[in-house]
Every structure is written in structure tokens, then in C-alpha cells.
Structure 1
Amino acid sequence: MIKIAIFSDVHGNLPALEAVLEDIEQRGIQQKFCLGDLVDFAPWGNEVIERIRNLNIPCIMGNHDERIAFDFPVIPLSKHSEEETNARFIAIDHSKKSITQDNKKYLAELPFHLKLNYKIGRKHWNIQLVHSGLESNETYLYESENDEVFTDILQQSQSDLVMMGHTHLSFKKRFDNDRWAVNCGSVGRSKEENRLASYVIITMDEEKIIPEIVQIEYPLEETAQQIELSGIPKYYASFLRNEKVSVF
């Protein structure tokens, strides 16, 4: 039996990342993978990157990583309110100014996606890691999508399981022939009501592959207070607290 841990969307939230890493360690899981978006919206972007680098955790490039690495412009999204749009511009500009050149170089060199193959006995398990999709890391795929959206990705990648992040909403969907589409949610900026740090454990043996969504607490209020002190818009502190008030 093999266990691996997969997480995504840390977004500069070092306390949440540390809580997830500690939980993984306590479970005795050695192999860890990250699906990107290490930066933006919390004040520890450099510290998060350096933690991932120092632990040699394989990581792929998220859309926020790409934007900071290459100084791409911020494009307003129709799904965002005016308040969030304004906060987003300020927060991303904060990252562009604060992330070190060495860390930007690291982000720029991340692979776009990764394919894992594990052999257990006579069985090979193929796991496709993407931030949001095979062709783009700006694709929003939710649990409500038609099954064909996910089975097409599984077929195109010749995988038994496709792992994604990006939406900050965790889910797992099982299809014929024991194939899966799984979103591991977000470590540092969950959009779920509980706002817990989320990641996924994949357990494999010769007969089956089983994904488990794990959600854990971290010092959220302390994190929100540090956001408020950092120059990042207070919108993101209110978001973590799941408050309905949008403030800057």
C-alpha cells in the first residue's frame, strides 16, 4: 500500500500550510505534492515558497504563480464583485513588489502539470496533477460539471485519477472502471463554509485507489489579524472569517 498527500492553493497562508504539513507528518506520509498558487492574499508568500523549496515538495504552476513570475496584468473577472476586484488588484500588486527575484525565478520554472505512475504488484496507477486543467490553469471546474468534462480529461491524460485545485472547493467524483476526478480544495483560502485548510490523501494498493479529503483547523483569527497588519486589503481577513462585510 502507498499513501501520498496532495494539496493546493496556499495563497501565502503560512499558518495553514504548516498545519497541513504537520498533519501529513503525523500520519507518516512521506510523499507530498503541491498543485500551485503559492502566493497572493496573505503576507507570507516568500515564506511559503521557501518552505516548499526547502522540503523539496514537487509543485506545479498555478495561475497566481504565473502572474507573479512573469508580471502578467490582472484581468478583472465577471464573477467578482467590485469590492473583490479592487482588493484583488491591491493584493496581487503587493505580491509583485514583495516576492523576491529568486522566488519569482522558482515560480517561473515550475512545470505546468505532472503525471505520476505508481506500480503496486502487477498494477500501474496513473495520476494526473493539474492546477485546473490540462491546457489552461484558468479553467474553473466544479463538482456540478457534467461527468463528460472529467472523463474527457481522464481519457486525454490516460489516467486513473486527475487531481486539481484552483476553485478552492473540494470534491471527489468516481466514474466507471474505478476512475476519479478529485479537487483537493484550498490550504490557505478555502471557499467552503468551514474555511478549514483542505488537502487530499491518496491510498493505493494493487486492487484499488482511494482518495480522502482531509480538512483541518489552523489559527485562522491570528492569520486574519496578520493580513490586516500587512498592507493586504482587509477584504481577505474578512473572507477568512467568513464575514459578509467587504472592507479594505
Structure 2
Amino acid sequence: MNRVQIAVFSDVHGNLPALEMVLNDIEKRGIRQKFCLGDLVDFAPWGNEVIEKIRDLNIPCIMGNHDERIAFDIPVIPLSKHSEEETEARFAAIDHSKKLITAENKKFLSELPFHLKLNYKIGQKHWNIQLVHSGLSSNDTYLYESEHDEVFMDMLEESQSDIIVMGHTHLSFKKPFENKKWAVNCGSVGRSKEENRLASYLILTMDEEEILPEIIQITYPIEETALAIMESAIPDYYAAFLKNENISVL
């Protein structure tokens, strides 16, 4: 039976070692089509390198909230869910990116589409796949697995899609609905908030009968990323976070 596989990843946040491990894993599986849901920058030192990797490989990418903030120099607003320590670290890390990211790369971020709609025809079946960073009208909406089903069902209906794939929260999940529909969060490549801190991405497998999402989680050299953070102007808070050293995951 004819089938198609694509890979979707999100929230790299400047973590080049994690991105390279994910891309290598996708390549080993023979998956040629890759899509990124944004947030290429902030919190690890390789913001420019991550952007250039996405550009060089021509990976279709949408605009995350961090990409938008860096591209257009949008002011940082404190989040009530963050501790005073994280708020201070967040301001410093984003300010670092605003100074570090090149003008050319900021232009690239500024031109990213807000979301993407894909359609795959397999046999007589068309599968509609909606890619967003966090939502249809906002790239800064926090939708967790615990959200009411109606929220995701409304998004599927509004987008006229069989599956809606998002990132942003750094917490992966798969929620099945009637008529072979899904809402999926592909997790985070470079700043997972899951307890294992593994790099996470999504494989979608489609044939004429069904579309199946699979969350893939792989190891990467966290210590290498943490050391690079500590050697940079990015607050050590983010190194401790990756090593899961008693840091809040809100």
C-alpha cells in the first residue's frame, strides 16, 4: 500500500546540537519532507547557526513567537507563571538574541509565514494537515493536553483539517478524535519541558486509510549545550534547566 511520511519539529531555541541529532535521525529513517513550526532562537548560543541550517536545507518553517519578537524587536512582557529568577533570565536571554542575530537572519525570520496548510493525496484520499506554532490566530497561545476537547475540535473545524500540529508549550501529546482526526503537539527539539529533556519531534505516516502520528524522542549531548550556555552571555538558568536541576517547567 502506498504511504507517505513527513517529519515535523518545533522550538529549537538556538540548540544546534539537538537540531543536528533530530535531523540526522530523520535522515536515517529515509524521511525526505521536513517542516518546522518555529521558535528557532533564544536560550542557547547558536541562534544564527540554527537559522542558517534551516535556510540552507530549505526546510519550510513558520514564525514562532520568539522569532517574531527578535525579527521585529518586540518588547518582552513578563509572564505571571514565571518565577522572578526565570523572568530575569528570560529578559537577559532575549536581549542577548536581539544583539546576536544578524540583520540578514532577522529579515529571514520576519518573512516566515504564520502557519502552513498541507494537502497530501494518497490513492483516492486527501489528507489536510494544518501546521501552527501554537494556534490559528496566535503564535503565543498555550494549549496543553488537558485542554477541553472542544477547543481542538473547533480548530480542526475552522481549519478544515484532519490533523492540526502545534508546538510552543514544549510538551508533546497526541489526542485522537472521531473521523480519524487528531490534535498533536510535536514537543520541543531544543528546550523540552518534559521530565526526560529529550529532543522531540513528530513523524506523520499517511496511507489511503489513515493518518498516524508518532512522537519520537532522542538523546543529544545536553552537557555540550549546557556548557556552551554557561560560556556565553545567556544566563546559566537555561543550562540548569536542560540538565533538569530543580528548575520549574512552567
- The TM-score by the shorter chain falls in which range? over 0.9
Distance, in Å, in 2 between the alignment partners of 1:40 and 1:223 is: 13
Which contiguous aligned blocks of 4+ residues in structure 1 show a shift greater than 6 angstroms? Answer: none
| CA shift digits 1:169-215 (9 cap, x unpaired) | 00000000000000000000000000000000000000000000000
Quick one: which amino acid aligns to residue 240 of structure 1?
L
Secondary structure of 1:243's match? coil
The answer for the alignment partner of 2:19 in structure 1 is 17
Distance, in Å, in 1 between the alignment partners of 2:224 and 2:110 is: 31
The answer for the alignment partner of 2:170 in structure 1 is 168
Secondary structure of 1:29's match? coil
1:81-230 alignment to 2 at 5 Å?
81-230=83-232
Quick one: which amino acid aligns to residue 140 of structure 2?
E
Distance, in Å, in 1 between the alignment partners of 2:154 and 2:247 is: 40
Secondary structure of 1:132's match? coil
The match for 1:73 among 57, 75, 94 is 75
Distance, in Å, in 2 between the alignment partners of 1:133 and 1:245 is: 27
1:222 Cα deviation (Å)? 1.1
The answer for the alignment partner of 1:54 in structure 2 is 56
Distance, in Å, in 2 between the alignment partners of 1:7 and 1:14 is: 13
Distance, in Å, in 1 between the alignment partners of 2:231 and 2:130 is: 39
Given the two structures, how large is their TM-score scaled by the length of structure 1? 0.99
Question: Are 2:246 and 1:244 equivalent residues in the alignment?
Answer: yes
The 1:206/1:110 distance shift into structure 2, 3 A limit, reads same
Distance, in Å, in 1 between the alignment partners of 2:189 and 2:79 is: 22
Distance, in Å, in 2 between the alignment partners of 1:229 and 1:104 is: 24
1:245 Cα deviation (Å)? 5.8
The sequence identity of aligned pairs, in percent, is 80
Secondary structure of 2:24's match? helix
Quick one: which amino acid aligns to residue 19 of structure 1?
M
The 1:152/1:125 distance shift into structure 2, 3 A limit, reads same
Quick one: which amino acid aligns to residue 103 of structure 1?
N
Secondary structure of 1:230's match? coil
Given the two structures, how large is their TM-score scaled by the length of structure 2? 0.98
Distance, in Å, in 2 between the alignment partners of 1:180 and 1:12 is: 29
The answer for the alignment partner of 1:7 in structure 2 is 9
The answer for the alignment partner of 2:30 in structure 1 is 28
1:217 Cα deviation (Å)? 0.2
1:105 Cα deviation (Å)? 0.1
1:244 Cα deviation (Å)? 1.2
Q: CA RMSD in A?
A: 0.7
Distance, in Å, in 1 between the alignment partners of 2:90 and 2:80 is: 13
Distance, in Å, in 2 between the alignment partners of 1:155 and 1:245 is: 38
Instruction: Give the count of matched residue pairs.
Output: 246
The 1:245/1:142 distance shift into structure 2, 3 A limit, reads closer
